[in-house]
Amino acid sequence: MFTICNDSHSDFVLLGFSDKPYLEKMLFSVILISYCLTITGNMVIILVSVNDPKLHSPMYYFLSNLSLLDLCFTSSCVPQMLVNFWGPEKTISYTGCAIQLYVFLWLGTTECVLLVVMAVDRYVAVCHPLKYTTIMHPKLCLQLAILAWGTGLIQSLIQSPATLQLPFCSHQKVDDIVCEVPALIQVSSADTIDIEIQILIAGIILLVVPLLIILSSYIAIAKAVLTVLRIKSTAGKKKAFGTCTSHLLVVSLFYGTVTAVYLQPKSHYTHEQGKFLTLFYTVVTPTLNPLIYTLRNKEVKGALIRLGGGSGIFRITKDVDICWMFA
């Protein structure tokens, strides 16, 4: 029996959690709050990083890029997600789905590369402090930022057209919450082995290798912190190892969920699991990034106080963990 596809450019239906209306209503409220926090937190990071001269350093330059990236990344999919969760109408046009796919892949890949750049920046700062300003000069920082955004764009321009050229039946039902490659190839009537191979190769280059680099960087940082501070007590060692724990938590959350979605073979792809994993890296991670990377950072707290005119709205705690000294 063959499926006849009359129009491959017809609308898509993002099923989401339509079989669980109660869950969609709950997710709508949670995602709306998370989205507002993401917008607010990342806007604050960009604002203080641009306006405070004390934050004009490579670390905050990359953090500003991450904040801008998270703003765009969540905005490329969350508004449509909220519309779908709010009511019974879950249709997205072919053009809308295509735009979402292009932007989603571009920004998602960019974040993979940018997190590597940030980890390497912290490695140089902690392990080679005397050479830091020489190595991480403004021109190199700009080049690394362009590399991250450019790599994401190239990956999107390669993967998105290949996916959208697949034949899709009219009013095709996509069992996902966004238009992303693994879900779209599931509803195609064509052989998708070539695209699956592309995804596997891209996943190894853009997910597995960067994650190994990030983990290696933070292991080296943790060792450097232990050596510099000469910590001997058990409590002190635990605090030192905590220098990278929060950062690695966000990195692991992002890379772990993306890897689980994009490196699974088509035959093993589970829609229900994939939807929850997508929620994590599209909603949860961008919400946590401002908190984990900067809002508990001593220098950023000082910048917030200066930005607020010292009104006392923002207060700096005295017991700042060691990890935020190297954040």
- pLDDT tens per residue, range 46-104: 888 888 777 788 888 998 999 999 999 999 999 989 988 887 788 888 899 899 999 99
pLDDT exceeds 80 at position 232:
no
Q: How confident is the model at residue 34 (pLDDT cuts 50, 70, 90)?
A: very high
pLDDT value for 253: 82
Alpha helices in the chain (DSSP H): 21-51, 58-75, 78-86, 94-127, 132-135, 138-164, 181-186, 193-203, 209-229, 234-241, 245-262, 271-279, 285-290, 298-307
Helix (H) or strand (E) holding 92: strand 91-92
Q: Which residues contact 113 (CB under 8 A, 6 or more apart)?
A: 147, 148, 151, 152, 206, 210
Domain residue spans in the chain?
Answer: 12-325
pLDDT exceeds 90 at position 237:
no
Tell the CATH superfamily of the 12-325 domain: Rhodopsin 7-helix transmembrane proteins (1.20.1070.10)
pLDDT value for 111: 93
- What tokens were used for 157? 């321009």
Q: What is the mean pLDDT of residues 23-36?
A: 92
pTM for the structure as a whole: 0.83
